[in-house]
Every structure is written in C-alpha cells, then in structure tokens.
Amino acid sequence: MPSVDVNADLGESYGTWRLGDDDALLQVVTSANVACGFHAGDPATLVRTCRSAARAGVAIGAQVGYHDLAGFGRRFIDVDPDDLYADVVYQIGALDGIARTCGSRVRYVKPHGALYNTVVTHEEQAQAVVRAVHDLDPTLPLLGLPGSALLARAERAGLRTVREAFADRAYTAEGTLVPRSQEGAVLDDPRAVAERVLRLVTGGTVRSVDGMDVAVDAESVCVHGDSPGAVRMAQAVRDTLAENGVDVESFL
C-alpha cells in the first residue's frame, strides 16, 4: 500500500497578528514545518505551536528562512554563505530548545519561501544550509525539491533527503514552482488539489501550467498553512488519499 507524508507550514503568526488555523491543521497533517522567528513566528507563538504539535503527535520540523520578517521570507537575499550558515544553525537550535520544553524535538529541517526556491539552483547557499544541518545534527533529514542543488549536496554530505511536492502550488514544465507573482501560482480549490495530489502520489506526475505532465517523485506533500482554505484543502487531500488506499503517515 502506498503512503505519503502531509506537511504544512505553521507557527507563522506574530504577536497579536494571526495567520492560519494551526490547531485545526495539526489534526490533519503528519509533519509541521514550524517557523523559527526569522521569517515569521514570535517566541510565544512558537511555544504554542510546538506544544500543540507535541500533543497531536505531529513531527516538528525547523522551517529555516532568510532574516526577513517584513517580507515574510519571500524575498531573495544575497547573504554571505557564512552568515547564512550561522542563521540556519541559530534557527534550528532555537526551535529545538522550544520543542524540547514541550516534550518533543526538531525532527527534520526544511527551508522556507525564497530560501527554498533559491537553493534549488544556488550552489553556495545550498551548501551553507547543508553544512549547518550536518554540523548541528547529521541525523536530521532535509526536505527539498526533487532535483535541487540542496538535495544533491545533502546526499553527498551523508544527510537523509526527503523529496517534497506541493499540493497548492502550480508547477512549471521544468518541475519548479511557478513564482507567486504570477497569476495562478497558488491553487485554492480543495477538490482539484486533492485529485492532483492523488495523481501525484499514485502516478508520479503533476500537470504543469503549460499542460504538460511532469514527473515528480515525492515522499512528502506540502499544504501551505497561509493558503486560502488550507484546512479544507488538507482535509480533502487526506480523505481522498484514504479513499483510494493511500496511507498518510510521517516520513519519519
């Protein structure tokens, strides 16, 4: 029986500002990519998120990003690799400390936003992220886009890599994500998203914006916590997979 992990980006509220419904998503997903304070998430928010994830039995991952609160981590920063290395170590360490006070720990690492897209092709920044994870804890798996520089370098460093696909994002014919600045980059129809994920998991392909079938081999599927109707989409994905004999379980 096939199986797949379903993850979501959580902990992205800040102070009195609230984004998404983390508690509801934690009843659906199997892995939580928790912000680490650089692109989103104040300390109290991260404590609440890790506590809720631990109670729900959901694996906690450190979602590391650029130091860019104003841009929500979705703007490229030409950061020096040594500075990026330090930023990633800092973020993982901070979230792991919070997770441990909640009876859990950081179980994996995933880049966020612009950093995620950058390390698909940017060799120096990809290596900085890999080096940070390896030096801190070489047992931590690293999530990324199939075929990316990040995963290639992680494999060479001896890290476990986890190939990821996106339920609610449009793909190019090259298998990369359509930039959010383009119309149609973010999908919001729960039924269409669920059928798309079922096809991806059982057939290994996703339809690109050009109408082409793109091969995508993924162990984990992401539903963005800040997408419109994220809870409905995640539930539709999980229900559709279950109805078609696909187990939803953590890659860990």
Q: Is the pLDDT of residue 187 over 90?
A: no
Q: Determine which helix (DSSP H) or strand (DSSP E) holds 6, and give its type and residue range.
A: strand 3-10
| Region 54-73 average pLDDT | 97
**Buried-state track 193-222, b at ≥16 Cβ within 10 A, e below 16:** bbebbbebbeeeebebeeeeebebebbbbb
208/110 Cα distance (integer angstroms): 24
Spatial CA neighbour of 60 closest among 72, 50, 74, 45? 50
pLDDT band at 80, cuts 50/70/90? very high
Cα 129 to Cα 223: distance, rounded to the nearest angstrom: 23
- Indicate if the pLDDT at residue 8 is higher than 80: yes
From 22-31, 122-131, 155-164, 200-209, the region with the lowest mean pLDDT: 200-209
In this prediction, residue 180 has a pLDDT band, given cuts at 50, 70 and 90, of confident
Segment 71-79 mean pLDDT:
97
Given the DSSP bridges, would you call strands 59-64 and 31-35 parallel, antiparallel or unpaired?
Answer: parallel
- Mean pLDDT over 223-246 rounds to 90
pLDDT in tens, 103-141: 999 999 999 999 999 999 999 999 999 999 999 999 999
The per-residue pLDDT for 135 is 98
Q: Which pTM was predicted?
A: 0.94
Mean pLDDT of 78-82: 98
Closest to 161 (Cα-Cα) out of 129, 136, 117, 208? 129
For residue 188, what pLDDT is reported? 83
Burial class of residue 66 in the structure, from the number of CB atoms within 10 Å of its CB (0-12 exposed, 13-18 middle, 19+ buried):
buried
Mean pLDDT of 32-43: 98
90-96: average pLDDT: 98
88 alpha-carbon distance from chain centroid: 15
